[in-house]
Amino acid sequence: SQGPAAGDLAAVPVPTLVGVGKLDIADFQDIARRYAAEIPDATLVEFATAAHLVALDAPDELTALLVPFLAR
């Protein structure tokens, strides 16, 4: 069987955590919101103090969300 067509977000079969920095440019915020809306079982997390590099700008907040998400 073949995988999903390129760009078919509705075909993502796993729980997905979509993170975006609230200080990132509007286009990237829009993309993250679209991913979260179109991927089944997706959760959007917006990091208030982060720009594009969430892991560098908000590492503690990212870890606090990522560890329990991965433990599910």
Residue 58 falls inside a structural domain: yes
Residue 3 falls inside a structural domain: no
Task: Give residue 2's pLDDT.
Answer: 53
Query: What residue numbers bound the domain in which 29 lies?
Result: 13-71
Residue 49 falls inside a structural domain: yes
Model pTM score: 0.84
Residue 6 falls inside a structural domain: no
Tell me which residues of the chain have a pLDDT lower than 70.
1-6
Domain total of the chain: 1
**Mapping DSSP to helix (H, G, I), strand (E, B) and coil, where does residue 3 land?**
coil
Task: Give residue 1's pLDDT.
Answer: 45
